[in-house]
Structure 1
Amino acid sequence: MAKGKYEKWINEEGLVLLEGWARAGLTDEQIAHNVGVSRSTLNDWKKRYPDISDALKKGKEVVDLQVENALLKRALGYEYEEVTQESQWNEKTNKYELVITKLVKKRQAPDTTAQIFWLKNRRPDKWRDKQDVEHTGDMDLNIVIDYGEDNG
């Protein structure tokens, strides 16, 4: 009986490769292409072989956490050092080398768009655009429209 194509991917080496592709941000469609199967076949494999499903989930989880951390960093603002390098001749080695010529400490201001995105998703009870407001009691409205003498 012929071996199934999936067998190449349920060993340690194949699972590490699948996880790495997921961690690199490849979509399931791209991973299926790399494996040489259709996306529907990959989806079938994920249902049939928990090791494949787990490897893809594990890889994607790492990337999701990295993006979450980057979003939070951007929302809060951060400090970083900007490095300027220039090519300079080194008399001892008789060749050009990159040398740090300037080091500047900078501050990235907090990003309000990142803050809004974070709060709307993490605290929808307080930060969503639509707020549910419940009113109890009577609302007597007595509206009088006066058209004046000319319009009547």
Structure 2
Amino acid sequence: MTKKGGRPSKWDEIMDDSKLTLVEGWKRDGLSDKQVAENLGVSYTVLKEWKKKYPSFATAIKKGKEVSDYELENALHKRARGYYYTEQTITNAGEVVEITKYEHPNPTSLIFALKNRIPKKYRDKQEIEQTNKNIDITLGDYDGED
């Protein structure tokens, strides 16, 4: 798409399939839209316009972000539950051996996950529904003295 007068648009100058793959990768790596715009040499406003105007660009942004989001969710889930992992270490005899270790659940990750997955049950502010019925309480012979 060239602009009127035959001058190529910024899109035509910059974007091709390899750049779309690069944009998707940047989003997968966790870069913000502002950082992607900077890497492309365009303003954040131009990037937002391209997302609206070019479906292939919007798809690349979305696909990369989804992968990153799932990786973050999986990492949080793993930290909240605890996990086993292997690592190499050197013994006193100079041998390299693999050992299995256990990373205990992280309470902060667990709290965060529960508050977001089951907010009605785990949010900080609990909402309690209260219904009052008009109940007539008669004190009988009570005269206020003990």
**Identity across aligned pairs (percent)?**
46
Tell me the CA shift for residue 44 of structure 1.
0.8
Partners of 1:71 and 1:55 in 2: CA distance: 25
Tell me the CA shift for residue 7 of structure 1.
2.2
**Correspondent of 1:104 among 99, 109, 113:** 99
Structure-2 change in CA distance of 1:77 and 1:41 (3 Å): same
If asked which structure has higher relative contact order (CA below 8 Å, sep 6+), I would say 1
CA RMSD of aligned residues (A): 2.1
**Correspondent of 1:137 among 93, 114, 132:** 132
Q: Which moved more, 1:120-129 or 1:130-139?
A: 130-139
Paired residues, number: 129
Matches within 5 A, 1:15-26: 15-26=20-31
Unaligned stretches of 5+ in structure 1? Answer: 87-98, 141-152
Tell me the CA shift for residue 135 of structure 1.
1.1
TM-score, structure 1 length as denominator?
A: 0.77
Moved over 6 A (4+): none
Letter aligned with residue 59 of structure 2:
D
User: Which protein is richer in strand relative to its size?
Assistant: 1
Structure-2 change in CA distance of 1:139 and 1:117 (3 Å): farther
Tell me the CA shift for residue 10 of structure 1.
4.5
